[in-house]
Amino acid sequence: MSNDKLVYNVSEVAQVLNVSRPTVYELLHRADFPAFRIGNRWLTSKAGLAKWVEDQSSLVQSDGGPIYV
């Protein structure tokens, strides 16, 4: 079996996105953020996170500027 991770925990998501853990906990409550719970642990799939980041990078405001999340 491959050692590649399928999911990230909160600390790993924070590290990947280069944000704080509290910021990740805020993201977890967004409807568009790809997270799920197993027991009391929040997890995010590697593929889902990559797609979410891609989707966020394509968002722009009507004035052409970026949308900050």
- Whole-prediction pTM: 0.79
For the segment 8-65, what is each residue's pLDDT rounded down to a tens digit? 999 999 999 999 999 999 999 999 999 999 999 999 999 999 999 988 887 765 556 6
Residue 63 CA to residue 56 CA, distance in Å, equals 16
Amino acid at 53: V
